[in-house]
Chain A
């Protein structure tokens, strides 16, 4: 397993006081907390910070960690010294709420024994995690593996799932008898579609003549293309709705198609000629209202 430099993760000195550690953790947690910062790299950083705090904010764990010395470097292959584990007993419950998100390094050194102890002592408790599914999974239904640190589960993604719903897995929480595991569903970003509830949104590029003259335009949907009727004299940004083409919930959502007019470049003799034609023959002034 890889060594984790917890002091580096919090950006504090090895001699930092408990107060300095708390302060550093709060600042970094505020910056990278996944509820406040939606960036994917922020989530990974928050996990590091949280894990570091879990060890360094606990006197016993920090002492044990410090005994590993200053030799090992962040990311280096690492194995704890013999008998290290016997000297330390980490029965304290974890404080954080991001369950099962810690590194192998943490699990091996600080969590394994505590977990066994907890499982014996603790009452039935429900656990929580988040699961990112793709929009396509929601259309077809799927089975996804999720890794919960100490176990991997095959989770069925039911068709028609939408963000904000919760999948409850019976008996996959902690304690004895085991509680349930609640998986909060969120959608992974999709290159084409944006989801709002069960409705989907897509930007569809169209040519100026399709928008001006009207046309049947091929439009992608998660279940295959459809032909969309663009009415004549369609303005840029106009939204058309394909009813029932959103997420296939019990009552399916709609697909909202926003038309984006894309201009061809005017850098060939032919294109230039056409634009010059339009300039000459069309009485069109888009700034008419701006002129007094």
Chain B
């Protein structure tokens, strides 16, 4: 069914501050999951989070559920994916 009216929205950008409770609710995870990822270095913030952390944790959750990765390996995988993204950017910048 197509709704003809446009759905009401908010834009979450880099200035939006999220609490650990917000993240846990949005990601449907227990707050201890977020703390564990922090302990393993997958995220650096401890109290006020940005939308970048939300998307990072969401990616972590996808990798955990879809690929069966454990929390210890998530931090490593996220860091490696960041490095690959960075290198792709560099490559695009220097290709002629």
The 0/1 profile, CB within 8 Å of B marked 1, for residues 125-152 of chain A is 1101000000000000001010000011
Given the known interface contacts A35-B81, A151-B3, A154-B4, the answer about A168 and B65 at a Cβ–Cβ threshold of 8 Å is no
The 0/1 profile, CB within 8 Å of A marked 1, for residues 60-72 of chain B is 0111011110000
Q: In the bound complex, what is the Cα–Cα distance between A171 and B8 (angstroms)?
A: 9
Answer yes or no: B31 CB below 8 A from chain A CBs: no
* Contact for A155 among B1, B4, B7, CB less than 8 A: B7
Answer yes or no: A98 CB below 8 A from chain B CBs: yes
Q: Are A169 and B9 in contact (CB under 8 A)?
A: yes
Q: Are A184 and B7 in contact (CB under 8 A)?
A: no
Q: Are A96 and B63 in contact (CB under 8 A)?
A: no
Given the known interface contacts A33-B66, A35-B59, the answer about A154 and B89 at a Cβ–Cβ threshold of 8 Å is no
Q: Are B25 and A126 in contact (CB under 8 A)?
A: yes
Closest A residue to B69 by CB, please name it: A30
Give the contact stretch, choosing among A7-15, A110-118, A158-166, A213-221: A158-166
Answer yes or no: B5 CB below 8 A from chain A CBs: yes
Q: Are B9 and A26 in contact (CB under 8 A)?
A: no
Residues of B within 8 A of A151 (CB): 1, 3
Answer yes or no: A255 CB below 8 A from chain B CBs: no
Residues of B within 8 A of A165 (CB): 11-14, 51
The 0/1 profile, CB within 8 Å of A marked 1, for residues 36-67 of chain B is 00000000000000011011001101110111
Given the known interface contacts A125-B28, A166-B51, A260-B96, the answer about A26 and B7 at a Cβ–Cβ threshold of 8 Å is no
Q: In the bound complex, what is the Cα–Cα distance between A171 and B33 (angstroms)?
A: 26
Answer yes or no: A3 CB below 8 A from chain B CBs: no
Q: In the bound complex, what is the Cα–Cα distance between A145 and B59 (angstroms)?
A: 24
Q: Are B67 and A30 in contact (CB under 8 A)?
A: yes
Closest B residue to A156 by CB, please name it: B6
* Contact for A154 among B3, B28, B55, CB less than 8 A: B3
Q: Are A172 and B58 in contact (CB under 8 A)?
A: no
Q: Are A168 and B10 in contact (CB under 8 A)?
A: yes
Q: Are B26 and A126 in contact (CB under 8 A)?
A: yes
Residues of A within 8 A of B8 (CB): 169-171
Answer yes or no: A102 CB below 8 A from chain B CBs: no
Q: Are A35 and B89 in contact (CB under 8 A)?
A: no
Answer yes or no: A36 CB below 8 A from chain B CBs: yes
Residues of B within 8 A of A166 (CB): 11-12, 51, 54-55
Q: Are B55 and A26 in contact (CB under 8 A)?
A: no
Q: In the bound complex, what is the Cα–Cα distance between A128 and B12 (angstroms)?
A: 14
Residues of B within 8 A of A29 (CB): 66-67
Closest B residue to A249 by CB, please name it: B13
Q: What are 19 residue pairs bridging A and B, where the CB atoms are less than 8 Å apart in the complex?
A: A30-B67, A33-B66, A95-B65, A96-B65, A96-B66, A128-B58, A152-B1, A152-B2, A154-B3, A154-B7, A155-B9, A158-B9, A164-B55, A165-B11, A166-B11, A168-B12, A170-B10, A201-B93, A237-B94
Query: Which B positions have Cβ atoms within 8 angstroms of A?
Result: 1-14, 25-28, 51-52, 54-55, 58-59, 61-63, 65-68, 81, 89, 92-94, 96
* New A-B pairs, 7, CB < 8 Å, besides A169-B9, A182-B54: A26-B68, A155-B9, A156-B6, A166-B51, A168-B10, A169-B7, A201-B92
